[in-house]
Structure 1
Amino acid sequence: MARKTIFITGGASGIGRAVAQRFADGGWFVGIADIDEAGMAATAAMLPVGQSSCHKLDVRDRAGWDVALADCAAASGGRIDVVFNNAGIPIGGAIVDLTPEEIERTLDINMKGVIFGAQAAYPWLKVSGPGSVLLNTASAAGIYGTPGASVYSATKFGVRAITESLDGEWADDGICVRSLMPSFIDTPLLSHATNRASNEDIRTRVVNAGLEITPVGDVAEAAWAAVHGDKLHILVGKTARRIAFASRWMPGSLRKQMRSSNRPLGK
Structure 2
Amino acid sequence: MATQRKSIFITGAASGMGRETARLFAAKGWFVGAHDVNEAGLKDLQAELGAEACLIRRLDVTDREDYRAALDAFAPAAGGRLDILFNNAGIGRGGRFDKQPWEDIVAVVQVNLMGVLIGIYEAVPLLKATPNSLCFTTSSSSATFGMAGIAVYSATKHAVKGLTEALSVEFKAIGVRVADVLPGLIDTPILPPGAVAAAPKEGMWRAMPPSSVAQVVWEAYQSDKLHWYVPEEIAELDKAATLAPEAMREQMAQNSLFGDPA
Same fold (TM over 0.5): yes
Say whether the 8 Å CA contact 2:89–2:111 is kept in structure 1: yes
| 2:210 aligned to which of 213, 216, 219 | 216
Partner of 2:190: 189
**Residue of 81, 84, 87 corresponding to 2:83:** 81
The one of 176, 195, 208 equivalent to 1:203 is 195
- Give the equivalent residue in structure 1 for 2:93: 91
Give the SS at the match of 1:46.
helix
- Find the aligned partners of 1:96 and 1:126 in 2 and give their Cα distance: 43
**2:66 matched residue in structure 1:** 64
Q: Matches of 1:263 and 1:76 in 2, distance apart? A: 48
Pairwise CA distance, 1:16: 0.4
Match of 1:198 in 2: none
Cα displacement (A) at 1:255 = 2.4
2:130 aligned with 1:128, yes or no?
A: yes
Q: Does the 8 Å contact 1:139/1:156 carry over to 2? A: yes
* Local SS of the residue matching 1:188: coil
- TM normalised by structure 1 equals 0.89
Partner of 1:28: 30
Residues 261, 19 of structure 1: alpha-carbon distance in 2 compared, 3 angstrom cutoff: same
Aligned to 1:231: 225
Per-residue deviation, 1:44: 1.7
Q: Would you say the 8 A contact 1:178–1:233 is kept in 2? A: yes
SS of the aligned residue for 1:189 comes to: coil
**Contact 2:90-2:111 at 8 Å conserved across structures:** yes
Please say if residues 80 and 126 of structure 2, whose CA atoms lie closer than 8 Å, have aligned partners that are also in contact.
Answer: no
1:257 counterpart residue number = 251
Aligned to 1:44: 46
Report the count of equivalent residues.
Answer: 254
Out of 101, 105, 108, the position equivalent to 1:106 is: 108
- CA 1:75–1:141 in structure 2 vs 1: closer, same or farther (change >3 Å)? same
Further displaced range: 43-52 or 167-176:
43-52
Asked if the contact 1:183–1:239 (Cα under 8 Å) also holds between the matched residues in 2, the reply is: no
CA RMSD of aligned residues (A): 2.2
Segment of structure 1 superposing worse, 206-215 or 91-100: 206-215
CA distance in 1, matches of 2:10, 2:248: 34
Q: 1:67 to 1:77 in 2, by over 3 A?
A: same
Give the 3 Å change call, closer, same or farther, for CA 149–206 of structure 1 in structure 2.
farther
Shift of residue 247 of structure 1?
2.0
Match of 1:246 in 2: 240
How far is the alpha carbon of 1:238 from its aligned partner? 5.6
Secondary structure, counterpart of 2:122 in structure 1: helix
The 3-state SS of whatever aligns with 1:134 is: strand
The 1:148–1:205 alpha-carbon spacing in structure 2 relative to 1, beyond 3 Å, is: farther
1:26-67 residue CA offsets vs partner (Å, 9 max, x unmatched): 111000011111111112222244011001110001011111
d(CA) in 2 for partners of 1:206, 1:94: 21
Taking the aligned partners of 1:238 and 1:160, their CA distance within structure 2 comes to 16
Q: Which residue of 2 aligns with 1:194?
A: none
Taking the aligned partners of 2:162 and 2:212, their CA distance within structure 1 comes to: 24
Note the C-alpha offset of 1:253.
3.5
In 2, Cα distance between the equivalents of 1:231 and 1:238? 13
Gaps of 5+ in 2: none
Say whether the 8 Å CA contact 2:94–2:149 is kept in structure 1: yes
The answer to whether the Cα contact below 8 Å between 2:180 and 2:228 also exists between their aligned partners in 1 is yes
Distance 1:24 1:96 in 2: 44
* Structure-1 separation of matches of 2:234 and 2:198: 14
1:140 and 1:239 in contact (8 A); partners too? no
| 1:11 aligned counterpart, secondary structure | coil
